[in-house]
Amino acid sequence: MSHTVFQNNSWSHPPMPTLLVVPSGIGCATGGYAGDAIPVARMLASTSGCLITHPNVMNGASLYWSDPRIFYVEGYSLDHFAIGEINLRPVRQQKIGLILDGGIEPDLQLRHLQVLDGCRASLGLDVSSVVTTDMPLGVTLCKGSSGASWGSLEHPDSLLRAGENLKKSGTTAIAVVTRFPDELPTNRELQSYRTGNGVDALAGAEALISHLMVRHLGIPCAHSPAINFLPLEPGLDPRAAGEELGFTFLTSVLVGLSRAPDLIFVQDFLGQGTFAEPFNRCISIEDVGAAVVPEGALGGPAILACFERGIPVIAVKDPSVLHVTKDALGCDNDFYKNNGKALLSAQNYIEAAGLLALIREGIAIESCRRPLKPLLENS
């Protein structure tokens, strides 16, 4: 990576790009609700100087936080970044296009267009084009045997056609709004989520839609669901309260996309030299110093790629319905240490930030633990 991206100075070490992965639709205690992992992202960005994370972490419906140290990278892109197939190029501003599901009712559609204009007028976002799909997309919500949420689209081809038209018109990032069912698989699931004891039933389908768009178009994309407003819930959990502040969830998506990095596909530039344009202004997986993830979600492509590359992985106790732990993967700390790799455990994200600080500063982690045994005793 070129020094045009990160400059060193006499006061501290340069930023250490760090991945934060909190998978969608698995009900994490932190990161399973409406942007409730944003404080964690801000903390880790401060510690590392550069945090690469995905919309599930940063989208808080009407709530958002813009931070130049945080790179907003859709989950499919993040996985392929970790594998080494995509580099990230920082930008000052993306030219955003909006796709509206043809199945959204006129009043609800107008609500989203007004949010769009509000973001243009008050936040200075460059949103230049709006298209409506040529047929209703037909979202279906499902729940897997693990308890994780997922879904399907009846007419994905209609969505992709709309995306192709926006890209041809010069759009460099796309927000998608699809009409989600008002009735969830069970009303009990909705009640559980809103009171802080369940899985977000929308998140899995949202991830499917954004993955599909990025894979097909190769530009930053993110999703916002369109639903009718829910009845008042006196027992609402604070982590879900961000969804009660407006008529849409679109604001945080537009803000995130406005500075999402360009996706530079490595395959397109093979043979042009490591520092051929646009590589000399990109961040690659080679620059990443650590990854942070819930301890039950170690089986995702991005984290497995970090293991393969010897990038330290900090597994945080963040309960969810997934239990893909180090034991489930058949590995342990000694195995990874003996292979030049590190799998570190943290009781919470605050402890994870401390571990990140040690890695960034080049301080041996064991030197801060007690008791510190004499070296001869360990040999």
18-23+28-89+268-378 and 96-260 in the same fold: yes
How confident is the model over 80-139, as pLDDT tens digits? 999 999 999 999 999 999 999 999 999 999 999 999 999 999 999 999 899 999 999 999
How confident is the model over 247-271, as pLDDT tens digits? 899 999 999 999 999 999 998 766 5
pLDDT band, residue 188 (cuts 50/70/90): confident
Let me know if domain 96-260 sits in CATH 3.40.1390. no
pLDDT band, residue 340 (cuts 50/70/90): low
pLDDT band, residue 189 (cuts 50/70/90): confident
Q: What is the mean pLDDT of residues 356-363?
A: 96
pTM of the full predicted structure?
0.91
Q: Indicate the burial class of 366 (C-beta count within 10 angstroms; 0-12, 13-18, 19 or more).
A: exposed
Provide the pLDDT for residue 3: 42
Lowest-pLDDT choice from 51-55, 65-69, 265-269, 344-348: 265-269
Q: Would you list the domain boundaries of the chain? A: 18-23+28-89+268-378, 96-260
CATH fold for domain 18-23+28-89+268-378: Rossmann fold (3.40.50)
How confident is the model over 63-79, as pLDDT tens digits? 999 999 999 999 999 99
Distances (CA, A) of 199 to 128, 142, 150, 187, 318: 35, 12, 11, 12, 14
What is the DSSP pairing of strand 18-20 with strand 51-53? parallel
CA distance 97 to 114: 15
